[in-house]
């Protein structure tokens, strides 16, 4: 499903305009991005939980050559489905 389809479906099921639905979705995306950038977990009950995780620097291997290479420390984000979404997958 593409973004425009998501906006239209949210608008249809909630009785708001597609533009209003898009604005809410963008606001949610921005809120999640802000919290993750601050290294804080954020959860949308019954939908998804985003958890920032720090990955330490480590030595890896270049898959093409097998040569050892250093991988820098970085932050990664995991997303875990919750409630209804998790149940729907099974």
Mean pLDDT, consecutive 10-residue segments, the chain of 90 residues?
Answer: 90 94 94 96 94 96 94 96 88
pTM of the complete model beyond 0.75: yes
Pairing outcome for strands 48-55 and 58-61: unpaired
Which residues have CB under 8 Å from 62's CB, separation 6+? 68, 69
Residue 25 CB contacts under 8 Å (≥ 6 apart), including other chains: 3, 6, 7, 10
Is 56 buried (19+), middle (13-18) or exposed (0-12) by CB count in 10 A?
A: exposed
């Amino acid at each position: 499903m593409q973004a425009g389809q998501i906006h239209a479906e949210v608008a249809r099921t909630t009785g708001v305009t597609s533009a209003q639905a898009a604005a809410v979705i963008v606001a949610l995306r921005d809120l999640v991005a802000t919290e993750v950038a601050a290294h804080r977990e954020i959860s949308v009950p019954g939908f998804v939980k985003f958890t920032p995780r720090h990955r330490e620097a480590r030595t890896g291997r270049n898959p093409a050559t097998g040569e050892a290479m250093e991988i820098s420390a970085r932050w990664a984000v995991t997303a875990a489905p919750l409630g209804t979404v998790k149940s729907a997958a099974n």
